[in-house]
Amino acid sequence: MRLMLPVLLTSLMICSAATMAKDEADAAKPLFNGKDFAGWHSVAKKGDPEKGEGQTELVKARFKVVDGVIVVDGKTKGDVVLTTNDELTGDLTIRFDYLAGPTCNNDLYFRGTKFDIKAKDIANLKAGEWNHFEMVAKGKDVEFRNNGELIKTLKAKANAGTFGLRAEAGAIQYKNLTVTSAK
């Protein structure tokens, strides 16, 4: 009987952790469907915005959907932002995986904050590998985490806003973009 109690407790802990992970995954809402830019649009300094519905390329192929991944072509020129159509409100977490090219200098925009994705600004960036990124909005604070490590915290200028991916310089790819609202 004494041997059964530790086994039972361990089993309960594993089941509880699995249930919490499943609940969090169930609560995550995809920001990108992996097929086209539905729910997104471009914002360019020059030219009219392009709506993403049904489109697999935007802004002269600066942004492309390839095999379920958003690809920013580093050879195509143009400083442009791809942004969600909907504003994201409340406390939440945006998660995604990215693969930065060697000369990547691209940005994330959210609630009036800007975060640069470039090797010199992200000490734990794994060159040539997929990295995991999180933006955690709590009240007016937005935390930026790369591969589980806090990189910086900035004060948001608004309580709501769209999420934007800026193509500035170099290649980068994004996948598994989700948002989870805090409970």
CATH number of domain containing 145: 2.60.120.560
Domain count for the chain:
2
Residue 122 shares a structural domain with residue 99: yes
Residue 22 shares a structural domain with residue 35: no
Tell me the C-alpha distance between 125 and 118, whole Å.
Answer: 8
- In this prediction, residue 26 carries a pLDDT of 54
| Helix, strand, coil percentages, rounded to 5, for the chain | 15, 45, 40
Residue 85 shares a structural domain with residue 137: yes
Give me the residues of the chain with pLDDT under 70, please. 1-26
Residue 5 shares a structural domain with residue 81: no
Q: How far apart are the first and last CA of the chain?
A: 39
Residue 14 shares a structural domain with residue 85: no
Tell me the C-alpha distance between 103 and 83, whole Å.
Answer: 22
For residue range 43-77, list pLDDT tens digits in order.
877 777 899 999 999 998 999 999 999 999 988 88
Tell me the C-alpha distance between 60 and 46, whole Å.
Answer: 12
Domain that holds residue 68: 31-181
